[in-house]
Amino acid sequence: MTSDQIKTIDWLRAQGCGYRRIAERTGISMNTVKSYCRRVPVPLDAAMDACPIPVASIVIPMDEPAGPEKPIDAPPVAREAKPAPSPSVLATLLPCRMCGAPVEQTPGRKEKKFCSKACSVQWWNRNRYSLNRKACQQVMCPTCGKEFIAYGSAGRKYCSHDCYLVGRFHKELIRA
């Protein structure tokens, strides 16, 4: 965020605007606005002085509905155009595993494999059984002799809690 956007957010917060309205007026995502507002508490008197544009020069858009709350005029903020991706970023665009859409990678971060959470969930639901599950091991229970699959824990010896109690404490279980 630019310093002008931060000043505008502070001013709109002092006016009583919610996250959605601030996001619409500044052109920043609502989650970014919410995150900033939670991290940085702003005293109301300081926010009123921080307005980057004189209040008299604010233009009120006529096509916006006023809604149930009183209309609040925000200083217009020029939207910054996204710069074209550099050649190094273009080289790091990988296709989404599910839909094939390009997924932009961030240098120095873990590789993203999906373009969205929806694609991720859909891919994992379709491919849950085709994965190589190295953590699964075929083990024989020393108490009852039954074979079972132990997932995740290499130290698991017993097929059930009942077999564990019998094998560990040498006690026969009394069933009612």
Residues in the chain: 176
Domain assignment of residue 148, given as a range: 136-169
- Please check whether residues 68 and 43 belong to one and the same domain: yes
Amino acid at residue number 130: S
- Asked whether residue 122 falls in the same domain as residue 148, the answer is no
Per-residue pLDDT of the chain (176 residues; tens, 9 = 90+): 888 888 888 888 888 888 999 999 888 999 999 999 888 876 555 545 555 554 444 444 444 444 444 445 555 555 555 565 555 554 568 899 889 899 988 888 889 999 999 999 998 888 877 666 666 778 899 999 999 888 766 678 888 888 988 888 876 655 54
Quick check: 48 and 88 in contact, CB under 8 A? no
pTM of the model as a whole = 0.29
- Residue 127 burial (CB < 10 Å; 0-12/13-18/19+)? exposed
Residues 64, 24 within the same domain:
yes
Q: Quick check: is 148 in a domain? A: yes
How many structural domains does the chain have?
A: 3
Q: Give the pLDDT confidence score for residue 17 in this predicted structure.
A: 86
Q: Is residue 150 part of a domain?
A: yes
What pLDDT does 176 receive?
A: 41
Tokens 């096509």, residue located: 63
Q: What is the distance between the alpha carbons of residues 157 and 144, in angstroms, rounded to a whole number? A: 11
Q: What is the pLDDT of residue 108?
A: 85
So what's the pLDDT on residue 32?
A: 92
61-79 as b/e: b if 16+ CB within 10 A: eeeeeeeeeeebebbebee
Is the domain of 53 the same as that of 119? no
Q: Is 87 helix (H, G, I), strand (E, B) or coil?
A: helix
* Helix/strand/coil percent split, the chain, to 5: 35, 10, 55
Give me the DSSP letters along 145-176.
--EEEEES-TT---SSHHHHHHHHH--PPPP-
Domain presence at residue 21: yes
Listed residue (16, 1, 2, 4) closest to 51, CA to CA: 4
Bridge-based pairing of strands 147-151 and 136-140 is antiparallel
- Give the rounded distance of the alpha carbon of 6 from its chain centre: 22
